[in-house]
Structure 1
Amino acid sequence: MFDLLYKNISRHLELSGEEFERFGRPFTLRTFKRKDVVLREGDYCLFEGFVVKGCFKVYYLNESGSEQTLYFAVEGWWITDIDSLINNVPSTLNIEALEESEVLMISKKDKEKLYEEMPQIEKLFRIMNQQSSVALQRRILSLTGKTADKRYLEFLEKYPGLEQKITQQQVASYLGITHEFLSKIRKKTSLNK
């Protein structure tokens, strides 16, 4: 269960076995069934979670009440509402399991304690936050500057195999289009293969 977490953080930081064990202690493994809600809009986010198994959608409800998916968190990804966590404000996001899933969760309090005990962990999370900011910037540029066809192809590249696990409506929500328009794009894409 911790192997994937170790592999993930080892890309950014070298920890000895003992240091990794110390790092891993405050994490708690939680299991979620399909459609379980990890975080609901209006609640306070008090955790960061590392997806060990499964898939989650992170979304909000727009003014018309429709779901707008920000991202899917698959194995090796992190889930949280960073605004709620850092600024202690009600969450604007919802996080829902799309299949049976396992997450290693750490509380804000335990994470802060790790920063004090292991200064290199603060560096780790700084690097991960920077990468998250880059991903967010790329997502915004894609949504505002690319055609739906290109966004669909990026989705397929970014999340290989995910399209078979989720609904067309969920893919369309991520792409910012209707599921009818997604059907046209999929048809056109399959004809061009």
Structure 2
Amino acid sequence: MYKALRLNIERKIPLTDEEWKLVVEKTEFIKLKKNEFLQIQNSNSSYEGFILKGAFKTYILNDNGNESVIFFSFENEWMCDLESFYHQKPTTYNIKAIEDSEILVIRKANKALLFEQVPKLIQFHILMVEKANIAIQQRLLDVLNKTSKQRYLEFMERYSQKADKINNRNLSSYLGVSHEFLSKIKRRC
């Protein structure tokens, strides 16, 4: 079960079996059914998670109760509400399984212990945060500079193997368009 996590980490840094045992001791395995929450907006429960199986959406509810999907996360990817996790603030986002999912999570206190016990994990952490920051910047640039059609086509290209897991309501929210407009984009493509 933990093999995918070890492979993910060891793409960047090697681990001894003893170091790996420390990682396993600090993580928690969670199974979620479709539509169950890993995290609820404005709660005090935040994790850093590695997805073993399944898919998630990270979104906010605005004042009108409408969802704005910020990210989708799939197998072998990391996800986290960065500000909440690192600064112990109430969560900004909802993180919800969009299909039955399995995830390994770590709490901030356990991550801090791991950094003390396996200092080279700090380098892996830096690489993860860099990747997350780049993804956030790219998402912002896409929203500001690309048309809905361009964002749709790039999404379909990037996630061609996973796009069938995303329903039209979630995809239209992610693209920032109505269901009707998404239907028009799909017909034209």
Bucket of the pairwise TM-score, normalised by the shorter protein:
over 0.9
2:110 and 2:88 mapped to 1: Cα distance? 16
Query: Does the alignment pair 1:155 with 2:155?
Result: yes
Q: Which runs of 5+ in 1 are unaligned?
A: none
Give 1:64 shift: 2.8
Paired residues, what number? 189
Give 1:19 shift: 2.3
Give 1:63 shift: 3.3
1:183 and 1:166 mapped to 2: Cα distance? 14
Give 1:48 shift: 1.1
Q: Which SS does the other structure have where 1:34 is aligned?
A: coil
Give 1:79 shift: 2.3
The match for 2:41 is: 41
1:130 and 1:19 mapped to 2: Cα distance? 23
When the two chains are superposed, the root-mean-square deviation of aligned CA atoms in Å is 1.3
Q: Which SS does the other structure have where 1:25 is aligned?
A: helix
1:125-154 alpha-carbon deviations (Å, 9 max, x no partner): 111100110111111101100111110011
Contact 1:37-1:94 within 8 A present in 2 as well: yes
Q: Which SS does the other structure have where 2:14 is aligned?
A: coil
Of residues 162-171 and 103-112 in structure 1, the stretch that sits farther from structure 2 once superposed is: 162-171
Identical aligned residues as a percent: 36
Of residues 41-50 and 9-18 in structure 1, the stretch that sits farther from structure 2 once superposed is: 9-18
1:54-85 alpha-carbon deviations (Å, 9 max, x no partner): 00110001233211111111101122211111
Matches within 5 A, 1:130-149: 130-149=130-149
The match for 1:94 is: 94
Of residues 108-117 and 36-45 in structure 1, the stretch that sits farther from structure 2 once superposed is: 36-45
Give 1:106 shift: 0.9
2:150 and 2:16 mapped to 1: Cα distance? 42
1:180 and 1:78 mapped to 2: Cα distance? 32
Of residues 96-105 and 7-16 in structure 1, the stretch that sits farther from structure 2 once superposed is: 7-16
2:160 and 2:116 mapped to 1: Cα distance? 38
2:130 and 2:180 mapped to 1: Cα distance? 36
Of residues 91-100 and 18-27 in structure 1, the stretch that sits farther from structure 2 once superposed is: 18-27
1:11 and 1:175 mapped to 2: Cα distance? 32
